[in-house]
Amino acid sequence: MTHPIDLAVIGGSGLYQFPGLENATRQSVDTPYGPASGDVVVGDFAGRRIAFLARHGESHTLPPHRVNYRANLWALHHLGARRVVGVNAVGGIRHDMGPRAIVVPDQIIDYTHGRYTSFCDVEGAEVKHIDFSEPYTASLRIALIDAAKQAGIEVIDGGCYGATQGPRLETRAEITRMKRDGCDLVGMTGMPEAALARELELDYACLALVANFAAGCGDEAEISIEEIFAHLAAATAEVPPILAELLT
């Protein structure tokens, strides 16, 4: 590898291509865990090398529970990435985390099931019990928050991400329970991605883009998917300037 990768970005709903990527090449990586969500696009951004992968595929064909999280993380690690920012669409539970807010969460509660959650899930693999008290890498979280400040973009420092199975949105009762549990945000893709990144000893942090108030948290009786994507488009536009500052 002549040019090491400075940062890998996993794009969520609404971020299928990384804008402003120059000299881009596509890398199809064979992984021991099957196919990743698609090719990894490696290119120059803000004078640095970045690797970009669309979590749901570039045409959004993979629902959250069918994303091959292991293959995705393995492919990025294999290409030389050592720090990863996951961009995730979320619903806001906390009152100050309404549509278009951007949050850098610091905790996770995992409500997902039936996903491959570990690289140990393979016959003969070494069993690792990673420390996950702090599920995101503190230094990368702080760097992201500082980068947003430098870019003049408001982000909320901290919050608990509740990872649900999807692809359906939650019931009001489920969100009430999650609120009681201490969740501030709800999304479908934060896990097992964060845990797998830790198993590979990758630095990992999340930029959570709030697309809607979670069920029962806003004024609307129903959550419209059109509205979700409109808010996401607005929040997604803030991602490249934050990451440009992160890389400088």
Q: Is 27 helix (H, G, I), strand (E, B) or coil?
A: strand
106, 170, 199, 238: residue in contact with ligand HPA (rule CB under 6 A): 170
Which residue, 160 or 228, has its beta carbon nearer to ligand HPA? Answer: 228
For residue 178, state whether it binds ligand HPA (rule: CB under 6 A). Answer: no
- Whether 182 and 160 have beta carbons less than 8 Å apart is answered as yes
The nearest distance, CB 60 to ligand HPA, in angstroms, is 13
Choices 26-34, 106-114, 148-156, 180-188 (CB under 6 A): range interacting with ligand HPA: 180-188
Which residue, 44 or 227, has its beta carbon nearer to ligand HPA? Answer: 227
15, 97, 188, 194: residue in contact with ligand HPA (rule CB under 6 A): 188
Say how far apart CA 184 and CA 193 lie, in whole Å.
19
Say how far apart CA 245 and CA 242 lie, in whole Å.
5
Backbone angles phi, psi at 51, to 5 degrees: -115, 130
**Among candidate residues 17, 51, 57, the one with its CA nearest the CA of residue 36:** 57
- Alpha-carbon torsion, ordered 49, 192, 11, 45, to 10 deg: -10
Which residue, 129 or 168, has its beta carbon nearer to ligand HPA? Answer: 168
Return the residues of window 45-104 that contact ligand HPA according to CB under 6 A: 89-91
Counting residues that bind ligand HPA (by CB under 6 A) gives 13
The nearest distance, CB 208 to ligand HPA, in angstroms, is 9
Which residue, 170 or 193, has its beta carbon nearer to ligand HPA? Answer: 170
Q: What is the DSSP string of 140-204?
A: HHHHHHHHHHHHT---EE--EEEE---SSPPPHHHHHHHHHHT-SEEESSSTTHHHHHHHTT-EE
Return the residues of window 218-247 that contact ligand HPA according to CB under 6 A: 228
What is the binding site for ligand HPA (CB under 6 A)? 89-91, 164, 169-170, 186-188, 211-212, 214, 228
